[in-house]
Chain A
Amino acid sequence: MRAFILCVLTLLGCAEMETAAPPTETESERIVPGSVIEAELHFDRGVALATQGRDTEAIDAYKQARQLAPNYVKVHYNLANAYARQLNYPDAIESYVRVLNLDSMHVSARHNLAAMYVRQLNYAQAIIEHETVLRFDPSHITTYYDLGYIHFLRGEYERVRELVAEGQRRDPNNASFYRLLGRMYAKELEFTEARTALEQSIALDSTDAATYVDLAQVEVKLRDYSAAERASRQSIELAPLEKEAYFVLANALRRLGKGEESRAILDQFSALDAQLDKIEDQLRMLGNDPDDHEARAMLGLLYARQGRYGEAAEAYTLATRLAPDSLSYQNNLGNMQLRLGQYEKAISAYERALAIDPEYAEAYYNMGQAHLRQQRFTEARTHFIEALKRKPEDVYANYYMGLLHARDGDFEQAAQVLEVAVKGDPDFLDARQKLAVSYLKLGRIEESKRELNTLKERQEAAGDHAQHDH
């Protein structure tokens, strides 16, 4: 299911998105002269922002364009797509409907509208829209697949067969049709046929992790557990964050008598599942209420835990729009942008956090980090000092101050702050090593030796511990 949703949303985000098609003659006539140019400028800005993944700002630009040119189809369309990417389904639907009111033949808008209905589990309406797309444009290949998938979910396999047959007639080398067929054969217990179809799909597109999972599931049914293991491992290699392959792999390993490995894989599956479930929950809640800033922020946090920093930054951007006075949202947004290397944006976010609470030590520290990563050492020092004024014992602020002092050759100051860092976290080995070096530079040989010995002991303990764990 998730794969399907991602698929339709991906469709929304690709070719059909930032199409800057010129307005039709009819549309041009409706637009007030003078406003057209300004609307175009806003529209182009929106496209540029959306291309950078900055949908919140893109929406603002599209809205300005819409105000100036309310009958401009492409503005509504791009606005709808941006809303859709933000999981704001009600507004996306409204904008797609506006497109269709202006141009009922707009196949892409109708296709995307259907995808919105699917996301809301409103399959009946999605089917109506998809069928309309095919009436207007029988060559709209993805609709054969998307519509077929809805019927597959509903157990309406005869219709699936019809749609796949027609889709394949028009596009014989489309891997997705074979995948859909394979999944359907599996549900109909025709496992050999399912295997053949899925292998054909892979032959046409060997990069789709989901198809390998389907194949692995079929191999389990055919009791070929080694083949199931191979296929699921292939899937994991292609998409290590997708959970399904882990589940099938664990199953296959258990049947192969590899119980311990199976358990370990199941643990990985569970961890991923818990994360993805939470993400799904937030997405569902946002589908109901796009203005739920807590859900937006939680989504940001969950994406961040998965290392999906771009999506996390976008989620936090929206959260900060909805709740601009939230200190943590601004700070977390800055952190995501920091991870993405967007240092200036990160600094702006931290500045907004400090505008909310000028005593917020974390924002000063993070700002120091942002400057440090750009090798702006003076600014970094200034912000670490501010952080330490508010949290004098902060381990990391002291550590980085130590590095900056050492860089300036001021080992006396470096040793002082590194001592605080080591005191705060005796297992902070890097700080201990830098402290030993500082002592050495200051001629405090015994202290340097002591630190190095301690460092060695703790390194060995950590190594033993790691070995023991292993």
Chain B
Amino acid sequence: MSIVSLFLVCLMLPFASQAAAPKFADVTESSGLSFRHVNGAAGEKFVIETVGAGAGFFDFDGDGMLDIYLINGAATPGMSYDTPPRNALYRNARGAGFVDVTELSGVGDEGYGMGMAVGDYDNDGDLDLYLGNFGANVLYRNEGNGAFSDVTESSGVGDERWATSCAFSDVDRDGFVDLYVANYHDFSYNNHRVCAEGGSGLQLYCGPEAFDGVPDILYKNGGDGTFVDVTLQVGLHSDAGKELGVVFGDVDLDGDTDLYLANDKTLNFLYLNDGRGQFEEMGLLAGTAYNEDGDVEAGMGVDMGDYDNDRYPDLFVTNFQWETNTLYKNLGDGTFVDETFLAGLGKGSIPYLSWGTRFFDYDSDGDRDVFIANGHLESDVESYENATFAQRNQLFENVGDGRFEECEPLSANDGLAVRKVSRGAAFGDYDEDGDIDILVANVDDSPTLMRNDTEAGHHWLRVRLLGKRSNGAGIDTRVEVHTGSLVQTDQVRSGSSYLSQSDLRLHFGLGASERVDKLVVYWPSGHVEEVVDVAVNRTLVLVEGGEE
């Protein structure tokens, strides 16, 4: 393929610099990731089998390299395994692939796993791990020596309802991250049912309408290793939603962290924080509850990011097949507008059933592109519908004027050409080469590790934030990067995507810019710091209070 035709795949950018054709190598096998997800299916069509699991990039041992955590399912009634399936932690061996350290680290939970979130809940300088399960959830405290302790019971966060996505965020800005756990609905093995929807007399998985929603949980961090359920007190108690996706961020730039929930076939919720950790649901008035037609969609994954570089974070929700995914542009006046079709994200998403997602700048050209993990629910969908169980994941290039264009895989061997039943997706530069790689969790299958080999030649800056008055991992910290007239904004985020955890460090693509003029850091404590004239192509570590 010539350079010219490569550029036809993704169009040029009017500002920053030229887009580069995406090139992702599937390095799963060569990287040593021997993990295989199981959904425990025994033919009973339990709806939990469809939901899949998440995956995560985080540096558990503090060596500066991103490690990988993969979540597993478990046997359902009628199924058994010789060796019980469990989650797995892989240490990044610095160029020598990944090494399974699950046993040593003690994070091999054998529950029916769903989602994960990472944060430093005890502010001791290392990253702790929370798992949302179908069954009791689990909190692993990082002991700082490569091992974790299961502190679920003593911390009081082992709720047993069906949890999906989860996230840490310091909603009351007291310097300790609180914990949000989304619960899907009230399915249990006792109220299991099979549905025939889809036609042809096939027995299929039931949709969310067959079950009742249950409230999510916000745990307030007491700062002493314990958490208290404050869902009701802070205005977050509702059983109206069937939550799958969770993302925190400051949508109105008022200095606190708001919450957006992607709900499956119920309204999506936008909870605005009043600055004191009290929330009010404003999705309907803000225009983020429905799509542009006033229809409720099957929200799965979610991300928040400033795709149009106007400083206000926008929202992206992945949805079911024959629906589009939905892009809500933040107008900055407290309202959003569904720009899905205008942005070019509509038509291309209709044939896919979508899950994990992220605004990220794959080619570091200065604007955020969108990745979407796809895969159907029904293994026999091909027998009754013009759709496939395994589906190709998608990358949409931000072409710079508020529009996106889908990138086709460069070759059959490209990571974007892989067809699996994908669910969670995590993002981070595991090989430390300056671009963002992708880890995709697949149902009943091995994951896909997509190494970003895009030859963009663009500059970049990565920012790692360490809170002092704020929480240790700097979660919720908002950063503005100024290069010329361009201002890019991002926020440190636990959770998001779908059931997954991406690198907590912020990556900014800088295009041709060789210096960052100014970097402004808005810590959750309220402290604001500026760093000027910053060198690029490196990881900048900022400690709250001015240390670098």
Residues of A within 8 A of B (CB): 1, 89-90, 93, 117, 120-125, 127, 153-155, 157, 186-189, 217, 221, 243-244, 246-248, 251, 254, 263, 266, 269-270, 273, 277, 280-281, 284-285, 287-289
Contact = CB atoms under 8 A, between A and B. Distances in A.
For the complex of A and B, the 3 pairs showing the least CB-CB separation, nearest first, are A122-B199, A247-B294, A155-B350
B386 interface: yes
B347 A125 contact: no
A217 B292 contact: yes
B401 interface: no
B241 to A, nearest CB: 12
B197 A121 contact: yes
A189 B293 contact: no
A259 to B, nearest CB: 9
Contact of B294 (A153, A157, A273): A273
A127 to B, nearest CB: 8
B199 A125 contact: yes
B322 A187 contact: no
A90 B201 contact: yes
Given A188-B347, A270-B284, 7 more contacts: A120-B196, A122-B385, A124-B384, A155-B347, A155-B350, A273-B294, A277-B266
Contacts, number: 88
Interface in B361-384: 384
Nearest to B347: A155
Contacts of B190: none
Nearest to B210: A285
12 contacts: A1-B295, A89-B199, A93-B199, A121-B197, A121-B198, A121-B199, A154-B386, A155-B346, A243-B294, A251-B287, A269-B284, A287-B197
A120 B209 contact: no
B350 A154 contact: yes
Contacts of A122: 198-200, 384-385
Given A122-B385, A155-B347, A281-B209, A288 B197 contact: yes
A179 to B, nearest CB: 14
A256 to B, nearest CB: 13
A285 B198 contact: no
Nearest to B342: A189
A358 to B, nearest CB: 35
A277 B346 CA distance: 24
A284 B322 contact: no
B200 A288 contact: no
Contact of A90 (B196, B198, B206, B341): B196
B8 interface: no
Contacts of B197: 120-121, 284, 287-288
B57 to A, nearest CB: 33
B350 A217 contact: no
B285 A266 contact: yes
Contacts of A221: 342
A277 B195 CA distance: 18
Contacts of B285: 263, 266
A446 to B, nearest CB: 54
B445 to A, nearest CB: 25
Size bracket, chain B contacts:
20 to 34
B384 A125 contact: yes
A438 B373 CA distance: 76
Nearest to A272: B294
Nearest to B337: A251
Interface string B231-272: 000000000000000000000000000000000001000000
B298 to A, nearest CB: 12
B335 to A, nearest CB: 7
B117 to A, nearest CB: 30
B385 to A, nearest CB: 5
Contact of B322 (A89, A117, A123): A123
Given A121-B322, A153-B322, A187 B209 contact: no
Nearest to A220: B292
Contacts of A89: 199
Contacts of A254: 335
A93, A153, A155, A289 pick with most chain B CB within 10 angstroms: A155
Given A243-B294, A273-B294, A266 B284 contact: yes
A244 B293 contact: yes
Contacts of B350: 153-155
Contact of A288 (B196, B293, B294, B351): B196
B207 interface: yes
B198 A217 contact: no
Interface string B293-306: 11110000000000
B199 A277 contact: no
Given A154-B322, A154-B351, A187-B346, A217 B199 contact: no
Interface string B179-204: 00000000000000001111111000
A123, A248, A266 pick with most chain B CB within 10 angstroms: A123
Given A153-B322, A247-B290, A124 B385 contact: yes
Contacts of A124: 384-387
Contacts of A289: 195-196
A243 B350 CA distance: 23
A366 to B, nearest CB: 31
Contacts of B199: 89, 93, 117, 120-122, 125
Contacts of A157: 347
Contacts of B290: 247
A14 B385 CA distance: 29
Contact of A120 (B198, B206, B292, B347): B198
Contacts of B335: 254
Contact of B209 (A121, A127, A263, A284): A284
A266 B290 CA distance: 12
B124 to A, nearest CB: 45
A154 B384 CA distance: 15
A217 B197 CA distance: 31
Nearest to A2: B295
A201 to B, nearest CB: 17
B385 A284 contact: no
Contacts of A281: 209
A263 B286 CA distance: 11
Contacts of A247: 290, 293-294
Given A121-B198, A189-B341, A284 B351 contact: no
A374 B199 CA distance: 47
A121, A243, A270, A280 pick with most chain B CB within 10 angstroms: A121
Nearest to A246: B294
Interface string B316-339: 000000100000000000010000
B237 to A, nearest CB: 18
A348 to B, nearest CB: 34
Contacts of B387: 124
B207 A217 contact: no
Contacts of A244: 293-294
Contacts of A270: 284
A287 B384 CA distance: 16
A269 B196 contact: no
B287 to A, nearest CB: 7
B427 to A, nearest CB: 27
A117 B196 CA distance: 12
A264 to B, nearest CB: 12
A396 to B, nearest CB: 34
B65 to A, nearest CB: 42
A157 B294 CA distance: 22
A254 B287 CA distance: 11
A31 to B, nearest CB: 30
Nearest to B296: A277
B293 A123 contact: no
A155 B349 CA distance: 9
A248 B291 CA distance: 11
Nearest to B206: A288
A89 B195 CA distance: 13
A248 B294 contact: yes
Nearest to A287: B197
B342 to A, nearest CB: 6
Contacts of A90: 196, 201
